[in-house]
């Protein structure tokens, strides 16, 4: 029988539930009907279950959270400069929730909305959300499905949507990963590999400047595995501009694996498979102020390009009537063990 538990109430009295997936297996998750939030994820390591994502204690904490912990992001992940765009000749304004800009869907976005539980069993949870015309300023009604499932050591998130009018659409997922399972171990000590061919330089408001910069030989080159600490040590003006890593990595064309991540502390490794053209890398540096004591995690968000509605040179992210948006994010885990050579990590993930 599928398990769920109360996760607290919102200020208006609505009850939020945590829905359990994978109980008794190697991988166990708890997903909230608030924002489709991945609130807990544990993997069986050599010394027992290891928490893999950062989390907050209750529903009210998530609703007030400025860091977007674990949410399904929509309608548009990342930023839209000036909270405005023109679509098919029609000027549109969306909610400005980061200074003058629009971030992760606006004031509430999809991450602070209650979703409908359509189906839930031990291995699968289907959530649905109807975003009405004009919500956060977006045109058209949009129907969204987020389906979480667990199969052995794989967590899958399927995102599907349809609409009745053209609308910018760029959903993503926003967990904070620290595979060490220990807040005292810096998330930047994790090893990261990603097929990056470029990155998007940003201005002081973290809005893309419009060009794709070559990542080769820079702090944004993760084609060879290294820690964020080692990558940042090479220095780059863009790290100063953003206060650290908060940049969109442009992936090699045709890449189906976005990232490999490994904690030499816990010995747990992660492979993220998705056909998205880009991956937002955020090192969680604002968490020190937003949630003191929580520690940091790395956000690795498969997505389209930020500010695409204002950048005709970027791949466009517009959903139109008659189309079905579908994107799958697979999180695959392995336990090659602490302190392994990278070749051993890759070999373990290849079999995950």
- In three-state secondary structure terms, 334 is strand
Residues written for the chain: 352
Burial per residue of 230-261, b for 16 or more beta-carbon CB atoms within 10 angstroms, e otherwise? ebbeeebebbebbebbbbbbbbeeebebbbbb
Smallest Cα–Cα separation from 34: which of 79, 72, 83, 88? 72
Per the annotation, does 118 bind a ligand?
A: no
| Set 17, 173, 174, 247: catalytic member | 174
- Evaluate whether 67 touches 289 at the Cβ level (below 8 Å): no
Both tokens of 345, joined, read 């990590």
Burial per residue of 300-331, b for 16 or more beta-carbon CB atoms within 10 angstroms, e otherwise? bbbbbbbbbbbbeebeebbbeeeeebebebbb
Give backbone dihedrals phi and psi of 340, rounded to 5 degrees, phi first. Answer: -80, 155
Per the annotation, does 309 bind a ligand?
A: no
Per the annotation, does 176 bind a ligand?
A: yes
| Set 135, 136, 301, 346: catalytic member | 301
Per the annotation, does 236 bind a ligand?
A: no
Per the annotation, does 311 bind a ligand?
A: no
Is there a catalytic annotation at residue 253?
no
- Evaluate whether 24 touches 31 at the Cβ level (below 8 Å): no
Smallest Cα–Cα separation from 304: which of 85, 110, 79, 108? 79
Per the annotation, does 138 bind a ligand?
A: no
Is there a catalytic annotation at residue 120?
no
Mark the binding-site residues for beta-D-galactose, compressed into ranges.
Answer: 78-79, 174-176, 246
Residues tagged active-site: 174, 301
Mark the binding-site residues, compressed into ranges.
Answer: 78-79, 174-176, 246
């Amino acid at each position: 029988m599928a398990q769920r538990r109360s996760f607290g109430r919102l200020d208006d009295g609505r009850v939020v539930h945590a829905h359990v997936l994978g109980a008794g297996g190697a991988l166990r998750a708890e997903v909230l009907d608030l924002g489709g939030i991945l609130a807990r994820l544990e993997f069986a390591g050599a010394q027992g279950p290891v928490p893999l994502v950062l989390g907050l204690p209750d529903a009210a904490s998530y609703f007030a959270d400025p860091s977007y912990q674990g949410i399904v992001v929509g309608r548009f992940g990342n930023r839209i400069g000036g909270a405005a765009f023109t679509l098919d000749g029609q000027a549109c304004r969306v909610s400005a929730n980061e200074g003058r800009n629009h971030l992760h869907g606006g004031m509430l976005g999809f991450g602070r909305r209650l979703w409908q539980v359509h189906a839930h069993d031990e291995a699968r949870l289907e959530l649905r959300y109807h975003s009405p015309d004009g919500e956060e300023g977006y045109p058209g009604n949009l129907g969204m499905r987020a389906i979480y499932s667990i199969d052995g050591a794989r967590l899958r998130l399927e995102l599907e949507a349809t609409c009745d009018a053209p609308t910018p659409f760029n959903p993503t997922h926003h967990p904070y990963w620290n595979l060490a399972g220990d807040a005292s171990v810096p998330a930047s000590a994790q090893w990261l590999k990603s097929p990056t061919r470029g990155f998007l330089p940003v201005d002081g408001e973290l809005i893309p400047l419009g060009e794709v910069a070559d990542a080769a030989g820079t702090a944004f080159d993760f084609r060879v595995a290294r820690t964020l600490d080692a990558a940042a040590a090479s220095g780059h003006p863009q790290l100063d501009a953003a206060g650290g890593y908060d940049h969109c990595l442009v992936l090699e064309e045709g890449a189906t694996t976005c990232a490999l991540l490994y904690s030499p502390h816990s010995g747990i490794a992660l492979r993220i498979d998705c056909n998205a053209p880009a991956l937002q890398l955020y090192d969680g540096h604002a968490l020190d102020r937003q949630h003191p004591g929580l520690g940091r995690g790395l956000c690795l968000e498969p997505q389209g390009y930020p500010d695409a509605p204002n950048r005709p040179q970027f791949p466009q992210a517009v959903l139109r009537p008659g189309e079905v948006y579908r994107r799958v994010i697979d999180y695959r885990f392995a336990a090659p063990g602490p302190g392994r050579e990278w070749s051993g990590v890759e070999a373990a993930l290849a079999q995950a």
